[in-house]
A and B are shown apart, each in its own frame.
Chain A
Amino acid sequence: MSGRRRLPLAWIVTLPFFAYTLLFMFLPAGSVLIGAFEGKTHGYTISNVTTLFHHPYIDAFKTSIEISGTTALIGGAVGLAVAYAAIREGTPRWVRSALTTFSGVAANFGGIPLAFAFISTLGPLGIITVFGRSHGWDPTAHGFSLFSKTGVELAYMYFQLPLMILVISPAIDGLRKEWREASSNLGASQLQFWRYVGVPVLMPSLLGAIILLFGNAFAAYATAYSLTAGTVNIVPILIGAYYSGNVLNNPHLAQAMAFGMFAVLAVMMVFYIPLQRRAARWAK
């Protein structure tokens, strides 16, 4: 019984942390949850959430998911190829450490400065645009605009690629040299090694990393906001528009959209956690 009486005392020191979490995390989260189901004037309703399934909200969710999906898949594939190129035998050691250091910095590099870097590269007066134009190939004449969905995807890749490189490199390290030697001793070709050993071992880490990249792009706001001046129709920008102008007449809609984003991410987490567990099996 004496142990039972000492326990609450030991917990007291951690109280400020829990109080802070409650005040700045759980109560605000709760107010979003309640607000999403509150009526415009009074009472509770599900109409805010059902409105999300109509134009223009459903389109925003669609565009958000498309951008996140595209950049996660392409960023994932290219990131894997680059990480493997840096790690594989034959590549000098310094390449890998340089790439890891740079990725650590570049993965943190997003938002307003990133948008401007892309404007100076591929914008109407950007270095590549001007260079292409003076050599008889104008990207804008072929329907390319940096201030579109494609432009946003291109810019997102700048933080998606390094994130993929950082996340997948340990998994590639887990592909042991002995496995490769064993499979080639048994007469397997390069292709067969990847088909029957490499990809199956990497698969959980790969899928997990792609989900992580999806969430990373799905949450992004500043880059798209700055690049397209808020014209690309993605969920974070629609939410932001409510607070800066009065685009929406119902404040609970912004909360419903926040709730919707949270729901999409929650579904992603449901897939992510078991994948993470399987991936850990092969970790060194």
Chain B
Amino acid sequence: MRPTRRIAPTAVIWLLIAFGYFFIPLIATFLFSLKSNQTGHCCTAANYSWVVHSSAFWHTLKISFLLAIETIVISLALFVPTIYWVHLRVPKLRPVIAFLALIPFVIPPIVMVVGLLQFFKGTPSWFYAQPWGFLAGAYVILAFPYMFFSLDAGFRSIDVHTLTEASQSLGARWGTTLVKVILPNIRSAALAGSFLTLAIVMGEFTIANLSAFNTFPIFIQYVNESQGFPAASLTLMSFAITWAAMLSLLVVGRKRGQRAAIVAGAR
């Protein structure tokens, strides 16, 4: 076959279609965000200042961000010791844990929330009526696949046995070994899992809406319904948050050649 150096015409057409489909909505949102909410004319930054001066914006953003931090802390506390121990002592359990961690990827959040609402109905209100209880508990489950596969890849790339033996022969206890020896070595994996979790929690709508918690995506939806043009600027800001999280993930993951992951939470 003759080596083709130049780009094929059909390839150009397909790439242009994809480019148009992906970028036109973003450009349209940007143009919308510059229009005045009173006159509908271009160009003003008033929509951005409306968002920045909205107290509900900061309030819900704070709730979602703190929820993300809580979810990350709980997931790491749950997964780091478990995966460490599985790699060190009970490798037989690894497929079992991988399977369990994958389940939330397959189950739609809408099905999950029906079960959670039913099961936890009647539990104390400090848990059931608080985002820090019920919602965080659900989000840890949503984060399962991303945390597990990031951390598992991290643990596989280090020599758990040698590190542990070296640490213990120098007199370190389990806690010291885990925090001072193992954790620094899987830092980029833990960061990758954390960024993914951040992106999920900052965008999760389904569970928050059905369990009636006022998080950042709920606020965006409220603005969508009530304020035309400020919603565009808010939409772009929420993109920016997701994209920053995803791009940081790519930066952290590049070293280990990790492929981009797919978050299912937001849909």
Contacts and interface: CB of A to CB of B under 8 A. Distances in A.
Contacts of B100: 21, 25
Given A24-B137, A28-B112, A105-B242, A121 B78 contact: no
Contacts of B14: 78, 81-82, 84-85
B114 A255 contact: yes
Contacts of B117: 243
Contact of B21 (A28, A157, A243): A157
B97 A14 contact: yes
Nearest to B222: A112
B155 interface: no
A215 interface: yes
Interface of B is mostly: helix
B267 A159 contact: yes
A1 interface: no
Interface in B204-241: 205-206, 209-212, 217, 220-221, 224-225, 228, 231-232, 235, 238-239
Interface residues of A, number: 89
A283 to B, nearest CB: 13
Size bin of chain B's contact surface: 35 or more
Contacts of A243: 117, 210-212
Interface stretch (A51-59, A136-144, A199-207, A218-226): A218-226
A261 to B, nearest CB: 5
Contact of A90 (B8, B29, B32, B81): B8
B93 interface: yes
B6 A218 contact: no
A87 B167 CA distance: 46
A222 B206 contact: yes
Interface of B: 1, 3-8, 10-15, 17-18, 21-22, 24-29, 31-32, 40, 78-79, 81-82, 85-86, 89-90, 93, 97, 100, 103-104, 106-112, 114-120, 137-138, 140-141, 199, 203, 205-206, 209-212, 217, 220-221, 224-225, 228, 231-232, 235, 238-239, 242-243, 246-247, 250, 259-264, 266-267
Interface of A: 10-11, 13-14, 16-17, 20-21, 24-25, 27-32, 35, 78, 81-82, 84-86, 88-92, 95, 99-121, 125-128, 157-159, 161, 163, 166, 180-181, 184, 215-216, 218-223, 225-226, 229, 235-236, 239-240, 243-244, 254-255, 258, 261-262, 265, 269
